[in-house]
C-alpha cells in the first residue's frame, strides 16, 4: 500500500475506508432492489459505490430506479448490455432536447447543442468536421509539443517535498494540451479548466454556482471564444480547432449556442477525463506495488498499461440515452421517453467479459477491451490523443524517477458522472 | 483453413492461415499483425479494424452492413473498397484474400 505501516494517520485513514466499504457492502446486498439509486454522487466521494453495482449486475442487470434526484431512470450495468445500448443509436438517442447524455437532464432553457448530444444526421456532419484534428497525421505533430510541455512540467517539480499532483501535473498538463489544440492565449489557459469544471458542476450543490450564475459564466466563455473565432475566420485556415471550425463548411455557419456547445464538449471531453487518468494511474501503481515493480523492470509495458489505466479509472462513470420508442432490453420493457443510463464504471468491472476485472494489471492481453471511451458512433473522438498523452507522461516519469509516492488517500470528486480527483498529495523521493 | 495476406501501409506483408468462420480482424489480432486494432472485440462498434480489400477480392467479400457503413463514416481515408475487418468472415471462397491496412487506426 501507499502508506507506511508505522504511520498512524494513514493506518487510521485506511481502516476508516475499510469500515465504510464493509458497511456499504452490507447495505448493498441487504436493501430492497427497487430502492437502490446508484446516481448518488456522495458514494463516489467516499468510493463506496462498487458493491451496489455488483448487486445490480447480479440481480437486476436492467434495473429501474423509480425515484431519484434526477427523476426515474434505468441502469444498465453489464458490459454486453452496455455495448448493445451504445451501438443502437436508432433507438437510444443522445439528443440534448430529450435531456442529453448524463443522468442529470440538461437545463432546458440553456441547451448546449454539442455533437455528443445529437443524433444522426447532424451528429455525423459535426463530428466529421472536428475529427481531423485528432487524426493520426496530426497526432504525430502534437506528440512533439506534448512531450516538450511534459518535460518542462516534470523538470520543475519539487523533490522530497509533498505537493498536489492533481494541480501541479494532471491539471497543468491537460490544460496546456487543450490550449495547444485551440491555439488559446497561453497566459489565460487556466480559464479552460475553470470553464470545464463549471460546465460539469451541479448547480444544486451548495458552494457551486447556481443555475443562473453557471449560465452567465458559460456565456463569458462563449464571448471569449467568439472573439477568437472572429480573429481566425478572417485569417487563412490553420491547424487549430477554432480555425478548423471557422473554415469547414459544415461548421462555419454554426449558431453561437452551437459553437459554445461544441467548445464545451471539446474542453470537457479533452480535459477532466485525461486529467483524472493521469492522477489515477499514479494512484493505482501505488496501490499495487507489484505492478509498479513490473513497470520499473520493463518500460515497454507503458503501452499496455495506458489502456488499463483508462479502464480502471473510467473517467466518465456513465453515459445516458433516452428511448425513442418502446423496446425490450434484457427482458425489461423500456418505454418511449425513458432515461437509460449505461454505467461504464460497472461494465468495466464485469467478470462476465473481463478476466479478474477488479485487479489493476498492466500487461493484459487485450487491454483496450473496455467501455471508458464508449462504443458506436459516439465513441470518444479523442481516444488516441488521450492515450498518447498518458503514454508520454509515463515515459517521461520513468526516465526520471523510479518511484513517486502517494502520501494519503486522494480527495475524490462528488459526482456520479465525472469520476476523478480534486487533490492528491505526493512526494518524489530524492 | 484459408490464407489471408495482410499488407501494412509501408508494404510489409504478413501471411496468416485462418480457420474458416474466423473474422479477418480476429485473424490479425491473434497473429499479432500490426495495423489492425479491433478495440471493440468485433462488435462493429469502433472502426479500428478498417482495411482496404484488394480490388480483385472485393466482389467476393460482400457488402457493408448498415452499422458498418455508419461506423466507417468516422474512419480516416475511407475508400470505396474500405471494409471493417470484423465483418468479414473467412470461407474457402476467400482463400488467398489480400487486404491492406491504413497508416494507423483512428
For residue A427, which phi and psi values (nearest 5 degrees)? -145, 140
Nearest Cβ partner of A368 from B39, B70, B103? B39
Q: Is A105 in a helix, a strand, or coil?
A: coil
CB within 8 Å of A82: residues ≥ 6 apart: A76, A342, A343, A344, A347, A371
| CATH architecture of residue range(s) A8-427 | Orthogonal Bundle (1.10)
pTM over 0.80: yes
Between CA B100 and CA A395 the distance in angstroms is: 31
Q: Is A427 in a helix, a strand, or coil?
A: strand
With b meaning 16 or more CB within 10 Å and e meaning fewer, what string describes A327-352?
bebbeeebeeebbbbbbbbbbbbbee
Nearest to A62, CA basis, from A73, A49, A51, A70:
A73
What per-residue confidence (pLDDT) applies to A325?
A: 98
Instruction: Give the A:B interface size as CB pairs under 8 Å.
Output: 51
Between CA A166 and CA A180 the distance in angstroms is: 20
Residues of B in contact with A382 (CB under 8 A): none
Residue identified by cell 430492497 is: A32
Residues of B in contact with A124 (CB under 8 A): 73-74
CATH number for region B2-100: 3.10.20.30
Asked if A135 has any chain B CB less than 8 Å from its own CB, the reply is yes
Measure in Å the smallest separation between the Cα of B76 and chain A Cα atoms: 7
Between CA A422 and CA A364 the distance in angstroms is: 29
Which cell is A189 given?
489557459
Residue-wise pLDDT for A35-48, tens only, equals 999 999 999 999 99
Asked if A128 has any chain B CB less than 8 Å from its own CB, the reply is yes
Measure in Å the smallest separation between the Cα of A370 and chain B Cα atoms: 8
Residue-wise pLDDT for A267-311, tens only, equals 888 888 999 999 999 999 999 999 999 999 999 999 999 999 999
pLDDT above 70 (res A14) = no
Interface of B with A (CB under 8 A): 29, 37, 39-41, 43-47, 67, 70-71, 73-74, 76, 103-104, 106
Q: Are A208 and A227 in contact (CB under 8 A)?
A: no
Strand order in the sheet with A425-427: A163-164, A425-427, A405-406
ipTM above 0.90, yes or no: yes
Between CA B39 and CA B45 the distance in angstroms is: 8
Domain ranges of chain A: 8-427
Between CA A206 and CA A201 the distance in angstroms is: 11
Which of A136, A347, A352 to substitute to test the interface with B, most B CBs within 10 Å? A136
pLDDT above 80 (res A134) = no
Helices (H), A335-382: 344-347
Amino acid at each position: 500500500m501507499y502508506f507506511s505501516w508505522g504511520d498512524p494517520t494513514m493506518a487510521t485513514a485506511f481502516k476508516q475506508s475499510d469500515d465504510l466499504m464493509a458497511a456499504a457492502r452490507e447495505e448493498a446486498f441487504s436493501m430492497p432492489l427497487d430502492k437502490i439509486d446508484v446516481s448518488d454522487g456522495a458514494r463516489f466521494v467516499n468510493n463506496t459505490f462498487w458493491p451496489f453495482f455488483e448487486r445490480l449486475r447480479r440481480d437486476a442487470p436492467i434495473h429501474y430506479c423509480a425515484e431519484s434526484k434526477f427523476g426515474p431512470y434505468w441502469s444498465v450495468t453489464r458490459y454486453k448490455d452496455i455495448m448493445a445500448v451504445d451501438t443502437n443509436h436508432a433507438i437510444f438517442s443522445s439528443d440534448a432536447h430529450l435531456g442529453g447524455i448524463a443522468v442529470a437532464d440538461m437545463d432546458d432553457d440553456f441547451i448546449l447543442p454539442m455533437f455528443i448530444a445529437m443524433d444522426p444526421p447532424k451528429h455525423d456532419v459535426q463530428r466529421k468536421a472536428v475529427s481531423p484534428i485528432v487524426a493520426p497525421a496530426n497526432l504525430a505533430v502534437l506528440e512533439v509539443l506534448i512531450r516538450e510541455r511534459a518535460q518542462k512540467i516534470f523538470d520543475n517539480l519539487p523533490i522530497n517535498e509533498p505537493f498536489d499532483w492533481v494541480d501541479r501535473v494532471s491539471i497543468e498538463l491537460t490544460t496546456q494540451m487543450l490550449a495547444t489544440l485551440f491555439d488559446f492565449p497561453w497566459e489565460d489557459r487556466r480559464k479552460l479548466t475553470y470553464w470545464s469544471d463549471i460546465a460539469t458542476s451541479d448547480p444544486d450543490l451548495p458552494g457551486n454556482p447556481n443555475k443562473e450564475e453557471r449560465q452567465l459564466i458559460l456565456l463569458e466563455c462563449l464571448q471569449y471564444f467568439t472573439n477568437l473565432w472572429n480573429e481566425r475566420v478572417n485569417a487563412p485556415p490553420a491547424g487549430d480547432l477554432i480555425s478548423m471550425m471557422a473554415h469547414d463548411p459544415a461548421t462555419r455557419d454554426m449558431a453561437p449556442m452551437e459553437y459554445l456547445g461544441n467548445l464545451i464538449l471539446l474542453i470537457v471531453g479533452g480535459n477532466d477525463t485525461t486529467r483524472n487518468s493521469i492522477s489515477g494511474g499514479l494512484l493505482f501503481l501505488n496501490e499495487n506495488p507489484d505492478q509498479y515493480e513490473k513497470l520499473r523492470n520493463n518500460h515497454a509495458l507503458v503501452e499496455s498499461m495506458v489502456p488499463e489505466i483508462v479502464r480502471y479509472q473510467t473517467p466518465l462513470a456513465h453515459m445516458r440515452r433516452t428511448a425513442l420508442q418502446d423496446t425490450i432490453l434484457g427482458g425489461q420493457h423500456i418505454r418511449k421517453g425513458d432515461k437509460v443510463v449505461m454505467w461504464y464504471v460497472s461494465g468495466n468491472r464485469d467478470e462476465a467479459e473481463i478476466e479478474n476485472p477488479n485487479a489493476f494489471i498492466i500487461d493484459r492481453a487485450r487491454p483496450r477491451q473496455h467501455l471508458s471511451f464508449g462504443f458506436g458512433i459516439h465513441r470518444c473522438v479523442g481516444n488516441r490523443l488521450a492515450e498518447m498523452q498518458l503514454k508520454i507522461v509515463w515515459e517521461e516519469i520513468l526516465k526520471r524517477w523510479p518511484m513517486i509516492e502517494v502520501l494519503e488517500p486522494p480527495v475524490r470528486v462528488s459526482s456520479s458522472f465525472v469520476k476523478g480527483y480534486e487533490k492528491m498529495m505526493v512526494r518524489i523521493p530524492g | 483453413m484459408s490464407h489471408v495476406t495482410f499488407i501494412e501501409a509501408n508494404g510489409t506483408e504478413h501471411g496468416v492461415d485462418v480457420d474458416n468462420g474466423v473474422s479477418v480482424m480476429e485473424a490479425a489480432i491473434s497473429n499479432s499483425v500490426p495495423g489492425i486494432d479491433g478495440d471493440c472485440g468485433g462488435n462493429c462498434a469502433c472502426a479500428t479494424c478498417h482495411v482496404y480489400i484488394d480490388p480483385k477480392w472485393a466482389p467476393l467479400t460482400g457488402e457493408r452492413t448498415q452499422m458498418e457503413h455508419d461506423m466507417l463514416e468516422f474512419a480516416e481515408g475511407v475508400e470505396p473498397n474500405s471494409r471493417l475487418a470484423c465483418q468479414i468472415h473467412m470461407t474457402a471462397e476467400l482463400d488467398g484474400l489480400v487486404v491492406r491496412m491504413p497508416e494507423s487506426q483512428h
